[in-house]
Structure 1
Amino acid sequence: MKLPAEAPSAGMRRLLDALGSKQGQTRYVGGWVRDTLLGLPVSDIDLATRHRPEEVIALLRTAGIKAVPTGLAHGTITAVVESRPVEVTTLRRDVATDGRRATIAYTDDWAEDAARRDFTINALSADPESGEVHDYFGGKADLEAGVVRFIGDPLTRIAEDHLRILRFFRFHARFGRGPADAAALDACTMRANDLMALSRERIADEITKLLALAAPSGAIRLMIERGILRPVLPEITDVAPLERLIAREAEAGIPGDPLRRFAALLPADADVAGAVGTRLRLSNKAVKRLVCAASRTADPESVPAVLAYRIGREEAIDRLLLSDAEPAAAAGLLDWDRPQLRISGGTLIRMGLQAGPIVAATMEDLKRRWSAAGFPGDPHEQTRLAEAAVAQALRETQ
């Protein structure tokens, strides 16, 4: 099997020449090879080389290519070619692992480097000159069969890096066809408690990547059935709300959103959603969005634009898709821009209000009147609405 014949760009040609690809010193590796064989679009190019990191830096600088030591401790140098990054990593072997990180040593052996990778389909490498694909563990056959399989003993691979449990389900969701590999699934089930040793950020990142895929439901269902998430996300017990959401996203023509999909998997409880988001160390904005989505109500008496103005566009789309509202209502918010009310608190004071809490309360009343009127942009109409709100406030204080 060979990669499709395609001449590299001028910049990539210069990089490959600098790293001795014609002498067999450097190959394409990993996801770039896998996805190219599948005919999938690829963006990131990864190279592996026999050159040591300090040699890579020297060779790139001699060739006039910018070299950034982004992962020097792990043997990775980032070459900047035609304004895009290309990771160049020295061939490695694992000396010691503890489930979270590895101590590595450099090697000249391509098979030894491939052996430290997680799945057979990720251990492929390709000669940039001939296009020949090198496959030491049956990755090409697994790729054709749609099987995600650990290299060697699955328990050993998981012991080396516990995150591989979650990566297995993500890769199965993306590349798997048919039942999951039994040995891999059993090993993940047996070692699920190992996930507790991982940082919550790494768990959140992997779950987000899984939920961003086109069809994550099958993998999530397997994870629930096998108790994979129970040690770190016991709140996730039912895949049905996710399946419903994905169907409604498709009906509305709205791209799948991993945070919205995560919200669907959590109970409809704002306190629980907030606690989970905080535990996973999500951003304040993401936690707020999870909490907002937890109510599962779209205020059906309000038009979508009013809901979006009140709670935010993304939050409104979440609510509409997670509720019983028509999916088309959410689609109508894709191009929605927040309207501008050009009346300030100072304007209300000049209309006769005393500075203090009454100004904020009247401003909220004005916003309700303005949204009910369809957010008119005409300054005169906004002023008329403000005058009515002020008059009401003054009557209530008499």
Structure 2
Amino acid sequence: MSRIELRNVSKRFGPVSIFHAIDLSIAPGEFVVFIGPSGCGKSTLLRLIAGLEDASDGEIEIDGRIVNALPPAKRDVAMVFQSYALYPHMSVYQNMAFGLQQQKLPKAEVEARVKEASRILQLDELLDRKPKQLSGGQRQRVAIGRAIVRKPKVFLFDEPLSNLDAALRVNTRVEIAKLHRQIGSASMIYVTHDQVEAMTLADKIVLLTPGAGARGEPGIAQVGSPLTLYHHPANRFVAGFIGSPAMNFVDASVAAADAERVLLDCAGQSQLACVDGQSGGRALQPGQRATLGIRPEHLLAQREAPGQDTGWPAQVQHVEHLGEHGYVHAKLRDGNATLIAKVHDENFRVGDMLRLVAPPESVHVFREDGTALARRLVVGAASV
């Protein structure tokens, strides 16, 4: 079992900084997903760990050994590429066995390792086929099998499912999760742009973004479990990136605040937010600018009733029907913001008048610099 440590790791291409001063610890057997917008450096960071790129600064340690100067073959890692990278003239068996044969391993051991990997990945009946005779999902399983037979300390996956159709992505994602459970002693690092893959596979998510560092350098925006990033984003960027559809944001100003509650003026309405008492609203002053955040699944869409004064009045601009649920896009009457609310069963139509209600325990508050106030989950919050 191998621990991976990145200490003050930076990468530059000429004057362009890809990421700066990254510190990251990956525990033995942990499944870590690198995610972020295009160009944030997630694949480059993976290639640094693999040894396919050199770090400009910092140290990369695998299993207690600094590997910066070691070539990929000496790092005891196995990489699965987006393009599969199979030998077209070799059978499935030969593709999986080739690396072991190059290491001069005994024939019996090669056969045993290939047999075990093919059993795990359900490739037993495909061992004699050539890559051109396989589907995309089968080719990807062969590429994963070629990595498994090496018994590496670290598995590296570079967007392995991006070439597959939707159904195959789901199936192969499940297989990768099963694989992690079966060979849990090896750490796995997985690069993707797909939030569903990140949320369902990861023990820990590393969200990278340009401009995340203390001085605005590209780097890590937040590290944590999927639910930590979802429920407790560190800043507005994380809140807007994690979740689909994205979190709604409304410009606001602070009306009043104490340790556990913040009252906001936004879109012509007063809105209460519950915050954590230890790092809550004491530092906020009336009149300060802020941003209110609320996820579509937490925003309540109610048909407007005569005399109703709760929630934001809004008009439906667009409705997305997805079967069991849907999404209503509604423009606030007092302001330019259009908010998205997840709805069930309600037959909303374009032009309908609504009230959008944000429960205080579901509201996120972001300071003017974008950092988040920690949330306190409560029931029946009182007003400030």
TM-score (norm 2): 0.24
Q: Which has the higher contact order (CA 8 A, sep 6+)?
A: 2
Question: Higher strand proportion, which one?
Answer: 2
Question: Higher helix proportion, which one?
Answer: 1
TM-score (norm 1): 0.24
Larger radius of gyration: 1
